[in-house]
Structure 1
Amino acid sequence: MEMNDKYIFPDPSKHPDWITPHSPEWYSKLNSSVGAYRYPWNSTFEMPNAEMMFAEHLSSRITPDSRVLDVGCGHGDFTSIWGYKAKEVIGIDNRENFIKRAEINNNHESTKYLVVNADDELPFPDHYFDIVYTKKGPWLYKEASRILKQSGIILGLYHGGTDGGLRDLFPGLFSPLPYDPYNLDAVEERYKLYQSVGLSQVRIRLLEEVEYLSAPEDVLIKKCFGQSEELKDFVWSQCLKGVKEIFYKHATEKGIRVINYHHLITAKVG
């Protein structure tokens, strides 16, 4: 993508109403306003997307005898995939209304959902689970090795930022990436994986996901996901006109092409 040299957009993260994404305050705002962790913008993906790659990686490890724990399960859509495949599946989240929604939609006897704060001691016996995973939720630094069987494995999927030319097209609107997603040492430092107690063979794999944002408004919705209405009003008033001009100049038939970076992290007990 060629660089846009006409517009310099205000950085929404400098606005006083900005909430740091994935902070406790951000999740609380998302919880109260949306009630679920769902992306509100319109887009299409080249397949397989990151979630499908993670699901395939996870599925290859689950057997009919597996006990599986989903940490940060949200409203349970992803958790429910494994109810037909595993002996037992437990989803935990610290948001009560997420868990209530998961329970309402639960149609597997093998699956249950609990309100649990993953930062606290977990209410599970020692060496109980075969697999622990988190999809953009908290990594278990201390408890994973206790609740996993000796042959158990923990997996995590984490978003490492979005670019693919996005920052060149809309300068200022998107802050610089906090770290180079290709630098796996930086990923290990960012998530402090060296603090994982009793885990070994920590491996990190970069997954690139191609997404097409469908309309100019979707660029702003993606940027402002989880933010307040006041912040959104400011961004729309300051940015929408320029975003529309740039979008329609550079979009393909599918929309504006961006790349979402994800990191697949795996570790074993021992």
Structure 2
Amino acid sequence: MSSREAQPHSREWYARLAKELGGYRHPWQRSLDGPDPELVFDALLLEYLTPDTRVLEAGCGHGPDATRFAPQCARWVGYDRQPELLELAQRNAPQAEFYLWDGKGPAPSEMQGPFDLIVSRRGPTSVIHHLSKVAAPSGRFLYVGPRLEVPNVPASLHRVGWTIAGEWRVSIQAYAPTLEDWRLRCEFMGEETRQDDWQHHATGRGMPYREERYVVLAKLGNYDE
């Protein structure tokens, strides 16, 4: 059975991505007409990293951000609900800490903060409900999602008393080069795939679509606090 035969974003599906792709990666090929839209998230993350920064990463996957950024901060703690991905993360980023948690119920005792920066790259938004317990008083929350709007993020932040300091919406022209890539992309995004769409809209570069990202930076309280 391949990852395509499991329900997308189920535990089995993530386990098979870990096995077949070596981590939580997009299973389709693509080409972009501009810079990767997640570079906004990267730039903001780097802006807040210092040798003293303590970071909590929600949905760390196989640890690509921990591998890249943990050496630049005092502490990097990641959690994920998928043990297969955590096993990869621990191998990829031995300088970071990783814990098994699904964001529900109390956090593992070893994962206690406070944290100066809480980040989620296309990961769970349930961490927002725990910000009051894990964030330092001057902490920041940084999130990037796969569409131009992720309505539950602003609403959830408002409910826990956090204010959006900045929002960025990035849309880049992209192409899925083959019908199989297009099918995999639609499956990943929970969108329907119709073969006649490919026949009518595919170009020499493949199926055109927009690669979108919604980036949010938030802090506790009002703007002037």
Is the pair's TM-score, using the shorter chain for normalization, greater than 0.5?
A: yes
Instruction: Report the counterpart of residue 192 of structure 1 in structure 2.
Output: 155
Name the SS of the counterpart of 1:132 in structure 2: strand
Which of 179, 204, 208 is 1:216 aligned to? 179
Instruction: Report the counterpart of residue 17 of structure 2 in structure 1.
Output: 34
Instruction: Report the counterpart of residue 209 of structure 2 in structure 1.
Output: 258
Question: What is the distance in 1 between the residues matched to 2:157 and 2:29?
Answer: 37
Instruction: Report the counterpart of residue 199 of structure 2 in structure 1.
Output: 245
Percent identical pairs in the alignment equals 21
Kindly indicate whether the alpha-carbon contact (under 8 Å) linking 1:216 and 1:243 is maintained by their aligned counterparts in 2. no
Please give the residue correspondences for 1:168-207 in structure 2 after superposition, counting only pairs within 5 Å. Answer: 181=148, 187-189=150-152, 192-194=155-157, 196-201=159-164, 203-207=166-170
Larger helix percent: 2
Instruction: Report the counterpart of residue 138 of structure 1 in structure 2.
Output: 124
Using the TM superposition, give the Cα deviation of residue 203 of structure 1 relative to its aligned residue in structure 2, in angstroms.
4.0
Instruction: Report the counterpart of residue 64 of structure 1 in structure 2.
Output: 51
Kindly indicate whether the alpha-carbon contact (under 8 Å) linking 2:53 and 2:117 is maintained by their aligned counterparts in 1. yes
Q: Residues 142 and 245 of structure 1: is their aligned pair in 2 closer, same or farther, counting only changes over 3 Å?
A: closer
Question: What is the distance in 2 between the residues matched to 1:130 and 1:113?
Answer: 17
Using the TM superposition, give the Cα deviation of residue 243 of structure 1 relative to its aligned residue in structure 2, in angstroms.
5.0
Question: What is the distance in 2 between the residues matched to 1:225 and 1:125?
Answer: 33
Q: Residues 194 and 87 of structure 1: is their aligned pair in 2 closer, same or farther, counting only changes over 3 Å?
A: closer
Kindly indicate whether the alpha-carbon contact (under 8 Å) linking 2:6 and 2:13 is maintained by their aligned counterparts in 1. no
Aligned-partner residue type, residue 52 of structure 1:
L
Name the SS of the counterpart of 2:55 in structure 1: strand
Question: What is the distance in 2 between the residues matched to 1:210 and 1:201?
Answer: 27
Instruction: Report the counterpart of residue 92 of structure 2 in structure 1.
Output: 105
**Structure 1: 5+ residue stretches without partners:** 1-16, 161-180
Aligned-partner residue type, residue 256 of structure 1:
M
TM-score, with structure 2 as normaliser: 0.80
Please give the residue correspondences for 1:77-92 in structure 2 after superposition, counting only pairs within 5 Å. Answer: 77-92=64-79
Using the TM superposition, give the Cα deviation of residue 244 of structure 1 relative to its aligned residue in structure 2, in angstroms.
5.1
Q: Does 1:45 align with 2:32?
A: yes
Q: Residues 226 and 47 of structure 1: is their aligned pair in 2 closer, same or farther, counting only changes over 3 Å?
A: closer
Higher relative contact order, structure no. (Cα contacts within 8 Å, ≥ 6 residues apart): 1
Question: What is the distance in 1 between the residues matched to 2:207 and 2:178?
Answer: 8
Kindly indicate whether the alpha-carbon contact (under 8 Å) linking 1:154 and 1:266 is maintained by their aligned counterparts in 2. yes
Q: Render the CA deviation track for 1:76-130: whole Å, top value 9, x for unaligned.
A: 11222112211111110011111011112224x3x1211122122223435x111
Kindly indicate whether the alpha-carbon contact (under 8 Å) linking 1:67 and 1:130 is maintained by their aligned counterparts in 2. yes
Bigger radius of gyration among the two? 1
CA RMSD of aligned residues (A): 2.8
